[in-house]
Chain A
Amino acid sequence: MSEVEHVHFTEQRLAEIGALAKKYPAARSALLPVLHMAQEDFGYLPMQVQQLVADTLNLRLMVVREVVTFYTMFREHEAGKYRLEVCTNVGCMLNGADDLVQHITKTLGVDIGETTADGMFTVTEVECAGACSGAPVVQINNEYHEKVDAAYMDAFITKVNADIDGGQA
């Protein structure tokens, strides 16, 4: 998304936001859900999207900024097409999460927090995902993958790369 591009919500989205806001004593309560929607629509939350959310809910931009920067799920920068979020908190750590992160970053040739040059993968470490019986847990674009090992990730990465070569990605 270019810096000057004008952004707006679709009519359908605006109707959805309007209905949502009525479910709370005050519309500002809808801020987190609306940011989730905006992130779904625009991929991430650059400044002009944050301004759009502020205008839509009649909030000051600073109120929106404060919330965007407080919560880890809101992204101000574009991530790869596949976000590989590896839980490395204790439950997963005891089940090999650190080795798994190392394997993934080495395979993709990136550091934690980085995106591959082709824009396909971003690797991050996240805090306890609340699925410790399935440790180690990797969230791939909001989807939980449990009891993940190096072979599982290799297969996933290989499949994505094969789809690129096959022109499907």
Chain B
Amino acid sequence: MISSDPKQVKAICFDRIHLVGQAGLKVARKNGAYKFLPTLLKDFDSEQIVDEVKKSGLRGRGGAGFPTGLKWSFVPRNTGKPTYLLCNADEGEPGTFKDRDIMRYDPHLLIEGMLMAGFALGVKDAYIYIRGEFLAEANILDAAIEDAYAANLLGENILGTEFSMNLTLHRGAGAYICGEETALIESLEGRPGRPRFKPPFPAVEGFYRCPTVVNNVETLATIPAILEFGGDWHAAIGVPNNTGMKIFCVSGDVNKPGNYEVPMGTSLKVLIEEYCGGLKHGTVPKVVIPGGSSTPWLTAEHYDTPLTYDALMKAGSMLGAGAVIVMDETADLIAVTRRLAHFYAHESCGQCTPCREGTGWLERIMNRVEAGTGCEKDIKVLSDAAEHMAGRTICALADGAAAPILSLLKHFPEVVQERLMENAE
């Protein structure tokens, strides 16, 4: 049970996740799913809901951290066009695996959040875009959606009200870039996932050029609690401007990797030592990537940093999707960087020259560096290429590709130097 006292809240999205049978509608309802929905549909109007979400301080949990209520308020009304709601369940950022748990263990929480968002935004058709590899999760969600239709929680005149909304699950097919919201829209229109220029932003011109809101799974799963307990309740959890709980996906060199939902502002050290059973080797991590592979690295000096959007930005990185990849003293940072360079080269959609060409350059040079067959010039080319990619493309993939390279060169120049020409002729 989620406590109405913000100080007592232990979990929001994961509150019912461990209950046996929670993926089934009957059990979920017994445990409180859709309990507040009739009240909401009867007593709230759109403006009130958007206001509560604004008041809650909720920021998008998918990576960018944009205030959710504000995003919703950008949707123009009475355009004569339909408004669409898309749930971004692409979960492709290396290191994230939180949305998967919400979808497979508590799919009705996501559906309820989408219903509430859909009601607030006047949506008639909503879609969940789930990454293609999550087939088991897609089957669970599909069954949950079917049950929700049968119980009149989806479809026409939901629970006897004027509100009608359809929900369709849509599987991607293996493309990291489709987690970028405009690429997701392109993909949902049956095309390769190539990001669109912004503006216009999706709120104004998105899916089939209609007003569209794209929200992450965790973001939408937070909505039911915010509306039941109020925006102020949510704003009292965490720290100002970084409110609520956040799921951190911790992987790499820790004893107990996993998903941990903690109040915003919990320190990195507490997360790793108290929740994850500490590091596998040593007492201080060599590198922590705090928000997924596209976010700049933190080193030992930042071990006490509170996990918030603001504090991580101040430390030179980003909270991103909350994907904390931990590396202890045993990690081969050159190999890690080379692997990430390969990832971004593989996933670049190819439409912007700096990214298409740059990611290839970074990968080829990192291959040489790892093999110890590089040359002195390689370091300069790496940093030049990375710097000239970031911020010069339609989407942020190029920035993500640059991040590990620039982090490696900044924090561990001696490691690169040592390895660079190890095996040169």
On A, residues with C-beta under 8 Å from B are: 23-26, 28-33, 35-36, 59, 63, 66-67, 70-74, 88-91, 93-95, 126-133, 135, 139, 142-144
Contact partner of A132 among B82, B168, B173, B257, CB < 8 A? B257
Contact partner of A70 among B94, B192, B340, CB < 8 A? B192
Q: A23 touching B166 by the CB < 8 A rule?
A: yes
Given A71-B174, A73-B174, A128–B190 Cβ distance below 8 Å?
Answer: no
Kindly state the interface size class of chain B when it binds its partner: 35 or more
On B, residues with C-beta under 8 Å from A are: 82, 91-97, 99-100, 125, 131-136, 166, 168, 170-176, 187-193, 207-208, 210, 249-253, 257-259, 289, 293, 323, 325, 327, 331, 335-336, 339-340, 343, 346-347, 349
Taking the nearest CB of chain A, how far is it from the CB of B9, in angstroms?
A: 23
Most buried by B among A66, A72, A135: A72
Q: B93 touching A128 by the CB < 8 A rule?
A: yes
Q: B133 touching A142 by the CB < 8 A rule?
A: yes
Write out the residue numbers on chain B whose beta carbons fall within 8 Å of the beta carbon of A131: 97, 100
Write out the residue numbers on chain A whose beta carbons fall within 8 Å of the beta carbon of B99: 130
Q: B94 touching A128 by the CB < 8 A rule?
A: yes
Taking the nearest CB of chain A, how far is it from the CB of B405, in angstroms?
A: 14
**Bound Cα distance from A66 to B250, whole angstroms:** 36
Taking the nearest CB of chain B, how far is it from the CB of A113, in angstroms?
A: 13
Q: A130 touching B173 by the CB < 8 A rule?
A: no
Nearest CB in chain A to that of B259: its residue? A133
Contact partner of A36 among B132, B187, B253, CB < 8 A? B132
Q: B95 touching A94 by the CB < 8 A rule?
A: no
**Bound Cα distance from A26 to B191, whole angstroms:** 12
Given A88-B339, A94-B327, A127-B346, A132–B95 Cβ distance below 8 Å?
Answer: yes
Write out the residue numbers on chain B whose beta carbons fall within 8 Å of the beta carbon of A26: 189-190, 208
Given A94-B331, A133-B249, A72–B175 Cβ distance below 8 Å?
Answer: yes
Q: A66 touching B192 by the CB < 8 A rule?
A: yes
Q: A71 touching B95 by the CB < 8 A rule?
A: no
Write out the residue numbers on chain A whose beta carbons fall within 8 Å of the beta carbon of B131: 130
Given A25-B208, A129-B133, A143-B136, A71–B97 Cβ distance below 8 Å?
Answer: no
Given A89-B339, A132-B249, A133-B97, A35–B325 Cβ distance below 8 Å?
Answer: no
**Bound Cα distance from A135 to B280, whole angstroms:** 14
Q: A66 touching B339 by the CB < 8 A rule?
A: no
